[in-house]
Amino acid sequence: MRYPRTCPACGADNRPIAKICDQCGVPLASAPDAVPAPADWQADLNRPRVVAARMLNHAYSVTYRLNEHRLRASGVSPVQFRALTLARLLPPPVTPSLLALHLALDSRTVSDLVSRLELNGWIQRVRDLPDRRAVRLELTPVGETVLAGAWAPAVSSFEEAWSVIGEEELTPVIRVLQRVRDASLEKLGYRPEDIYSLALPADDAPTSPKSLKTDGTG
């Protein structure tokens, strides 16, 4: 164990081996030993699975930007589009906590997002669940119109981003991504079928990309 040199009581700088402050005698709380730096940064970054994860992040980042650019004229951001799509297509009740799981956002961020959508008049909170403290989310007529207007440019941007991949290649790509997604969810303690309720059943093997169902998240 190592001990912090700066005393939390008087602020004095102490010797590295000191367990109590040299100035005021207050015990210095122990801290875990520093984690050593990786032996070979480049070797770690070039592990095949790490490369795959990095490329997935890169692909997501740039396709998100493309989606953002194509949606700009509709006045809807990609995350707003996904939230509206989930509220429209997921089986009810669509709660803020369910939205947070699908969007991989914390509860406060989702609360802010829902508040903005509500302020725009696109979503409304409905208190008709057995637990009156809970709310479900549903699109307003204005939200339906906004989503309809954003739908074509959003779908076109997805087609545009993936146009470099032939249809015969898409099925194995989708399957690989689904396996990674589901395995990660299980490690987090979730069952994929409980979250991605519109996702393709595991035993329903598609014969072509056109037969694949989606979870409606965009």
pLDDT at 106: 87
pLDDT at 29: 72
Overall fold of domain 42-211: Arc Repressor Mutant, subunit A (1.10.10)
126: alpha, beta or left? (left if phi > 0; alpha if psi -120 to 50): beta
Domain boundaries, the chain: 42-211
pLDDT at 211: 38
pLDDT at 23: 77
145: alpha, beta or left? (left if phi > 0; alpha if psi -120 to 50): alpha
pLDDT at 198: 53
pLDDT at 54: 96
Query: How many beta carbons lie within 10 A of that of residue 46, not counting itself?
Result: 11
Q: pTM value? A: 0.73
Query: Of 59, 7, 44, which Cα lies nearest the Cα of 177?
Result: 59
- pLDDT < 50: residue spans in the chain: 1-2, 199-218
